Structure 1
C-alpha cells in the first residue's frame, strides 16, 4: 500500500534544489513528482514547495522539496529558506559552463543555514543534449567527489536518473539521520513560512519576504 499524507511518517526531510535559472530545476521536480515533462516550464519566481511521501524498507518518509528561483536578483533572498534543510540538490546544465561554475557559490551559503550533516548531491541536467555538452561528465564527478557530494547526470526529457537521484538522496538521508525520528525534527525548521501541499495539487508559491540588499 502506498503511504498517504494522512499517515504517520517515520521521517520528515527538507530538500532544497538550487542552481541557475534555466538549468531545469522545476522540470526535474515535475518529472519526479508527476512523471511529466514540458518544454514550456515557467520560470520559478521566489520559492515553491512540494510534498511527497515515499516508502523505503517499510518506513514512511515525507520529502519537503523546495524549488528555488535561479535569477540573480533572488540570490540574497533564497538563502533565508535554507534553514533546517537536510539535503541540497545542486543542479547545472551540462551545455552551460556558467551554470556549473555557479554551483559552488551555494555550497557555503547552504552550510551557513542547513543542518550540520546536510547531504549534498550535484546533478548535471540535460544529459540528452550530449552534442551540445560544455561540461565534461568527468569534471562534474571530480568536483562532486572533492566536495563530498553525490553525483548523477539526468535528463528530464527522457527521465534518465531522475527517480534514482531522489532515491539516492533519500537513502543517504536515512543513513545520516538513522537514529533521529520524526518527532525530534521541528516542523518550524522544515517549513519556515509555507503551507504544505500534496503532490496532486498545484505548487504553493511561498510569500516572498521583503527584499534586501545582498
Structure 2
C-alpha cells in the first residue's frame, strides 16, 4: 500500500534517484512538475542543462524521498550524460504520442541508459500527451510491443490532465522499493545462516552518488498495461 505523502517529520528511510530521458518537447519537465508540485504550465520553456526536484512519500510504511532529475533532450546537452545517470535506480523514458520521431528515438535513449546506468535500474516507457488522442501518430500497441520486448513497464500519461502521472512514478518507486527490500531480506538470510554479509551492501543502491554493489544482481522488469 502506497500513500501519496509521507510524514515529513520522519527520518528518510531511502532516497531514490529517478531520471527522465527522451527527446526535447515530449513533456518531461511537465511530468516532473505535475508529480513534484501538482503544477502544469502551458508556457513551459525548454530545460537548460540539468535540474532536479524532490518529493517525499510513504511506501509500505517507509519514508521514501524521490529525487527526480530532468535534463534537455537536445544533443548539445549530452555532455551531462555520465553524471546524470550515476546512482539512478529508476528511469522514465518519455516520448510524445503525437510525434512519431520521438518514439523512433526511444531505442537510442534506451541504449544510452543501459550503457551508463546499473543493469537493475527500473525503467518505464511513457507515452505522454494522451489528451491529444486525435493527433496520435504512435499506436498504443506499438509501444506495448516495444516495452514487452525490452522488459519495460509501460503507461500512457497526460501531464496536462494529470492522467497516470502519479501512477507512473509510484509504479517505478514501488518496484525499486520491492527490489531493495528483497535484497535486504536475502542479505539477512545469508547472515543468519552464517553466509556472507556482503549482500547488505546491495541496499546502498538507493544513495545518490554511490554505485550499487554488483553482488546478487538480478534483472527484474515487467510490463504494465
Instruction: Note if 1:7 corresponds to 2:10.
Output: yes
Aligned to 1:75, what secondary structure does the other structure show? helix
TM-score w.r.t. length of structure 2: 0.78
Checking the alignment, whether the CA contact within 8 Å between 2:20 and 2:68 is kept in structure 1 is yes
Instruction: Note if 1:138 corresponds to 2:141.
Output: yes
- Look at both structures and tell me which one has the larger radius of gyration over its CA atoms: 2
Shift of 1:75: 2.6
Task: Name the residue aligned to 1:159.
Answer: 162
Q: 1:105 to 1:188 in 2, by over 3 A?
A: same
Instruction: Note if 1:189 corresponds to 2:210.
Output: yes
Which of 18, 21, 29 is the aligned partner of 2:24?
21
TM-score w.r.t. length of structure 1: 0.82
Q: How many residues align?
A: 189
For structure 1, the residue ranges without an aligned partner over 5 or more in a row are 191-214
CA distance in 1, matches of 2:91, 2:20: 6
CA distance in 1, matches of 2:98, 2:140: 11
Instruction: Note if 1:53 corresponds to 2:74.
Output: no
Task: Name the residue aligned to 2:178.
Answer: 175
- Structure ranking higher in helix proportion: 2
Checking the alignment, whether the CA contact within 8 Å between 1:47 and 1:67 is kept in structure 2 is yes
RMSD after superposition: 1.9
Checking the alignment, whether the CA contact within 8 Å between 2:19 and 2:69 is kept in structure 1 is yes
For structure 2, the residue ranges without an aligned partner over 5 or more in a row are 185-199, 212-225
CA distance in 2, matches of 1:127, 1:140: 13
Task: Name the residue aligned to 1:41.
Answer: 44
Shift of 1:183: 7.1
CA distance in 2, matches of 1:39, 1:132: 18
CA distance in 1, matches of 2:75, 2:22: 10
Task: Name the residue aligned to 1:63.
Answer: 66
Task: Name the residue aligned to 2:98.
Answer: 95
